[in-house]
Amino acid sequence: MKKYSRTLSSLRHLCSLDLPGEMLVPQFLNALGEIVPTEVSTLVWHGPDLTPVRMFSEQPESRLGMQAFLQFLDEHRRVGFDWFALTAAAINDRDDPRVKRIFGFVENEVRAPLHLPHEFTSHFTAIDSGYFSINLWRGGRPYSAAERAFAGGVIGYLQYALNRPADLRPLPFADDDRLGVMLLDACGRIAQVNEQALALAAMAANAPARTGFGCPQAMAAICRQLALDLRAMNRGAPAAPPQRAIINAWGRITMRATWLQPPNGNGDGTIAILFSRQVPRRLKLWQSIHGLRLSPRQQEVALLSAEGHTQQDIARRLNIGLATTIDHIRALYDRLDIPVDREALRQRLLG
C-alpha cells in the first residue's frame, strides 16, 4: 500500500477540512476506491437502537436496494418491530423466522441485484450512540486481508470527521458548472427534463438517478410547487419566492422557476425549473489539489494559499519555516504553470 501514500495523505487532509462530515462522504468513498478497488460503496447511518435510518451511495442500484430495505424496516417498525432484539436474535439463532425474513430481504433486494460476490463491511460508532457502516462490493478477486486492514484503518479518518461537532458558521460555496433544466406547463405538470436536471434532482433527494426512473417523487412535488408559486406571482397573488435550495452530502442544489413562455390569454405557458449545484469552496479546492498528486505538505500549503493566507501565516499554521513555505508555493505554481499570483491560483483550482 506504500504506493498509495499520497492518496492516504489526501484522505487525512480531506477529513480535517472543518466541513460537515456528511459532505465529505462522496469524496472519501471515491478516494478510498483508489486504494482498495471497489465497484459499489455505501455509507449507512444507524440510530441508537441500531436501526438503519439513512444511507449514501453514488450507484443507483445500491441506492434502490437500500431504500427498499429502509422502507421495509419502516413498515415493520409500525407494527412493533424491534431491530435491536432482531440483532440479538441473529447472533443467537440464525434460524429465527424473523431473522430469516429480514436477512432474506437483504440478500434478495440489496445484495443480489448488484451481482458482486465480494463484500467488505466496517462499523464505527457515532457521537449520538448510533453507528455508521461502510459497505464495499466488487467482483473479481475477494478483498485481501491487507486491503481489509488498510480500509479499516483509513475509515477512522471519516469517523473523526462525522463525529466532529458541527461548525455553525455559514459555508462559502463554489459552482461546479453542472446545470439542468426541467420544463413544466402552467399547472406544474412535468413536460420534459434533461439528464442533468434528473441527476441533480436525484442528488437533492438522495434518490436513485437511473434512465427511465423519472424525477424522484419528492422533487417533482417541490418543482410543481415552485411552478405554482411563479404562476401566483404572475397573477399578483401572495406567494413564496419560486426558488428552493437543499443542502446535503452532495452540496447545495438550487431550483429556480422562471417563465420560458409567459402565459397567454388562456393561461397556457411553459415554466422552466433551472437546477444548479454548488459545493463547499474548501471541498472544491481540495478536489483540484488532490488531482495534482502533490506531497502531503504541499497539499496543505496549496489549500491555505488558495484561501488567501499569507506566507507567514501558512508557516505559522503548519509549524514550518518561512523558506520551506516559499519553496512549496513555488513548486505549486511551477506544477500548475501559472504566474505567481494568488488570484490566478484560486481561479485555476476553482475552475
Closest CA to 17 of 7, 27, 4: 27
Task: Return the higher-pLDDT residue of 129 and 313.
Answer: 313
Q: What percent of the chain is modeled with pLDDT above 70?
A: 87
* pLDDT at site 212: 43
CA distance 12 to 16: 7
* DSSP-assigned beta bridge partners for residue 121: 135
- The reported pTM is 0.78
Please give the helix or strand (H or E) that residue 184 lies within, else none: strand 173-185
Span 2-163: which CATH code? 3.30.450.80
Q: Which residues pair with 134 in a beta bridge?
A: 43, 122
Q: Give start-end residues of each CATH 1.10.10.10 domain in the chain.
A: 292-350
pLDDT in tens, 155-188: 889 988 888 876 667 889 999 888 999 999 888 8
**DSSP 3-state assignment of 152?**
helix
Average pLDDT of the residues in 271-297: 90
CA distances from 170 to 19, 280, 346 (A): 11, 10, 20
CA distance 289 to 306: 10
Give the mean pLDDT of 183-202: 89
2: confidence class by pLDDT, cuts 50, 70, 90: low
Terminal C-alpha separation, the chain = 32
Q: Which CATH class is domain 178-281?
A: alpha beta
**Model pLDDT for residues 289-324, shown as the tens digit of each residue:** 888 878 888 889 999 999 889 999 999 999 999 999
Query: CATH topology for 292-350?
Result: Arc Repressor Mutant, subunit A (1.10.10)
- 96 phi and psi, to 5 degrees? -55, 130
SS3 state of residue 1: coil
